[in-house]
Amino acid sequence: MYQYTCLNPIAGVGLDLFSDEYKKVDDLKDAQAALVRSAAMHDLDLPDDLLAVARAGAGVNNIPLDKCAEKGIVVFNTPGANANGVKELVFAGMLYASRDIVGGIDWCLANQSDENIAKTAEKQKKNFAGTEISGKKLGVIGLGAIGVLVANAAVHMGMDVYGYDPYISVNAAWNLSRSVKHISNVEDIYKECDIITIHVPLLDSTKKMINADAIAMMKPTAIVLNFARDLLVDEEAMVDALAAGKIKKYVSDFPNTTTVGAKGCIVTPHLGASTAESEDNCAIMAVREIRDYMENGNIVHS
């Protein structure tokens, strides 16, 4: 009998993915395997019986990788399992930053009792005019599972797409549309693109990669999207640049006191993977990984 724990709610684990061979326990100290979504594990004591941790998501920055390596605990993530959810929210953010959707909706609500609302709207709509994303240059930084989906979808949206990734995998390169132009110098993305979206993992080498120098190279009309991790961006520098009109918008999925309410910032509460489908996909992949490892010793993304 294997014992596992869920360190925070993981929607799809309710799908009875484990067989009778597994017993759910409340505490990490009694568990041989742990499933985790966004809870930070850095301050937890890792019991000697713990064999595997599966993160239901792509990023593993909430897992103490060094401690796990020391103890021989295998760490899994679920690359690609939530990529559609994130991709779709990236486009929602892009469109939201380009069109005054909320201004228009708020205006309709404020004027709902006006019998002539349709007529008045025709006069008002110039106040809510936006820009199109079709034809714009999109820079995709990081061509993993999510970056590739975003880049390919952007091609279909009529965007001129530039991709940067010094470590692109064979699989990702194979899946990437031929219409995406490879850029070997990330600075060219900063200088040339109208919209820039980041899809890299948070590592020491990527921390604050979008810093004041990078932002200074961008167009004053540039829109930057961050659905990867907040620490990838020097957000103080970003907020200053937005306030000074040196860049147009910053769309982030990571709320904090620097960005929420700041001029030009559009912030959502880490919703990228919060779709029924992504949650199920991540849970199924995470449980399969644990099961495959516990039962067969296999280390695979399944």
**CA-CA distances (angstroms) from residue 251 to 176, 179, 239, 258, 299?**
24, 25, 11, 13, 36
Binding span for ligand MLT by CB under 6 A among 24-32, 55-63, 88-96, 191-199 = 55-63
Assess contact for 128 and 104: CB atoms under 8 A: yes
Contact segment (CB under 6 A) with ligand MLT among 57-65, 91-99, 105-113, 178-186 equals 57-65
Does 199 bind ligand MLT (CB under 6 A)? Our answer is: no
Terminal Cα-to-Cα distance of the chain (whole angstroms): 22
Options 82, 84, 226, 259; binder of ligand MLT; rule CB under 6 A: 82
Tokens of 134: 């079709």
How far is Cα 123 from Cα 81, in angstroms, rounded to an integer? 45
Contact region for ligand MLT (CB under 6 A) — 44-52, 53-61, 98-106, 241-249? Answer: 53-61
Comparing CB distances to ligand MLT, the nearer of 37 and 288 is 37
Measured from the Cβ of residue 28, the count of other Cβ atoms closer than 10 Å reads 18
Position 150 contacts ligand MLT (CB under 6 A): no
The string of DSSP codes covering 90-154 is HHHHHHHHHS-HHHHHHHHHHTTT-TTHHHHHHHHGGGG----STT-EEEEE--SHHHHHHHHHH
Q: Does 275 interact with ligand MLT (rule: CB under 6 A)?
A: no
Number of residues that bind ligand MLT (CB under 6 A): 9
Q: Binding of ligand MLT at residue 57 (CB under 6 A)? A: yes
Interface residue with ligand MLT, options 17, 36, 52, 58 (CB under 6 A): 58
Q: Does 270 bind ligand MLT (CB under 6 A)?
A: yes
In 3D, which of 40, 37, 50, 34 has the Cα closest to residue 8? 37
Q: Among 6, 12, 37, 152, indicate the residue that binds ligand MLT (CB under 6 A).
A: 37
Instruction: Answer yes or no whether residue 255 interacts with ligand MLT by CB under 6 A.
Output: no
Which residue, 9 or 220, is less far from ligand MLT as judged by CB? Answer: 9
Q: Under a CB-based contact definition with an 8 Å cutoff, are residues 196 and 136 in contact?
A: no
Within 8 A by CB and 6+ apart from 106, the residues are none
Is 268 a binding residue for ligand MLT by CB under 6 A? The answer is no
Binding status of residue 273 toward ligand MLT by CB under 6 A:
yes
**Smallest distance, Å, CB 286 to ligand MLT?**
11
**Residue from 2, 3, 38, 99 binding ligand MLT (CB under 6 A):** 38
Tell me which DSSP letter residue 44 carries. S
Between 11 and 155, CB nearer to ligand MLT: 11
- Binding region for ligand MLT (CB under 6 A): 37-38, 57-59, 82, 270, 272-273
